A and B are shown apart, each in its own frame.
Chain A
């Protein structure tokens, strides 16, 4: 259950639209069901009142849309940012990817987003409605007469279970209360893999990455992937490939994708959320974050604007590449 209500957000937004503070609003638009929510640009109060939604399925991170939308809109665009989205917002600002003056950022608290796949695992298929009901989600299906009550905590998306921060690091206006940076267990799964033997890790990733269909959703949804022309889309790069031709291509794409955002990835988890094949792509990103924290000191991308990402920085005392394997808990 989200603490702030849709009505509060609509009321606030309509006021800012009508007094001319903003001329467009980046928000969530209702779908055919209660969970298939589409990011949309709202320009009128009527549209907002009719189509704007805010519920447990508003997972999409809007930061990246600002790159394109700030160039399209006259005046300011209002953007809703959940705490994790604010990190991506700052990171994009650090990289000068959009004009801060053209944005009116409204921070909104988030109690964690639900994963529809987890809901379906519990209640089955044929969902006709999902309503918030206190701590629970009330889910009606075609196949059960009575709606099922599911605790929102039990169907929370992985990235929200391992939420790293409820604190907004950027906003013009904050609705509701700000939270704190959380001590999360987000690196546990990475550590579990690190503790395996190389053969086990190879088998694990071979199995995961073999499902890749190279739809590029992970890249296209990633707020850190904002190159105008990706090397994988450029026929002149000689690595462009539209298909995961074999296990080498699968690995190359995912290593390069994760490496290119290493140090800039805020761990927002969009890559894994959008993957149609349920590949835990965030683990590759988290591996880089964990390594960077251990090698070069704690660093959270997007925590502050203008900070220097660890891979475009150095000290003369850095450890040697050969030494990264000799640090105690490794299998070496």
Chain B
């Protein structure tokens, strides 16, 4: 029997205006990043409700990353500033509950930063891979 190589499943929430375009650019430039990064496009990084992150973990994600426009560049002026505060509070809470803090991340990626997008995803996937499967925020029902 072949042992399946462990590849972490990453959910990346990308804002429509910067980071999703950045991911597009990475693709156009043939930059490679793991196929197990699943991108979910959101209008703005501040659309990401903490529930989305928990639900991603529930459904089998091993890492969740949120990408938005650089602070000051938000298409809606201030959305990513709210993201920054909310996620700071949420990530700190996850850490407080003993959940590996390396599984969650926020990165600012502009539409011009295809290379940064690919590099970020490669690096994040590697970090999450080194942690192994998400056990502390898993829902066994979804792994049957």
**Chain A: residues with CB nearer than 8 A to chain B?**
190, 193-194, 198-206, 231, 239, 245-246, 248-249, 251-252, 255-256, 258-259, 262, 284, 287-288, 291-292, 295-296, 310-316, 318-325, 332
Contacts and interface: CB of A to CB of B under 8 A. Distances in A.
A318 B136 CA distance: 29
A255 B137 CA distance: 12
Nearest to B98: A202
Which interface class (under 10, 10 to 19, 20 to 34, 35 or more) fits B? 35 or more
B97 interface: yes
Given A287-B96, A316-B81, A256 B51 contact: yes
B87 interface: yes
Interface stretch (B8-16, B31-39, B99-107): B99-107
Nearest to A202: B98
B78, B82, B89, B101 pick with most chain A CB within 10 angstroms = B89
B84 A321 contact: yes
B106 A321 contact: yes
Nearest to B82: A314
Contacts of B93: 255, 258-259, 284, 287-288, 291
Interface string B5-47: 0000000000000000000000000000000000000000000
A288 B97 CA distance: 12
B1 interface: no
6 contacts: A248-B137, A255-B94, A314-B81, A320-B88, A321-B87, A325-B101
A144 B106 CA distance: 62
| Interface residues of B, dominant DSSP | helix
Interface of B: 50-51, 54-55, 57-58, 71-72, 78, 81-82, 84-101, 104-106, 136-141
A231 B84 CA distance: 23
Given A248-B137, A316-B81, A205 B97 contact: yes
A190, A200, A206, A314 pick with most chain B CB within 10 angstroms = A314
A199 B98 contact: yes
Given A239-B51, A324-B91, 14 more contacts: A203-B98, A205-B98, A239-B55, A248-B138, A248-B139, A251-B97, A251-B137, A258-B93, A291-B92, A318-B81, A318-B84, A318-B85, A321-B105, A324-B95
B92 A311 contact: no
Contacts of A249: 139
A239 B52 CA distance: 11
Contacts of B95: 198, 324-325
Contacts of A245: 141
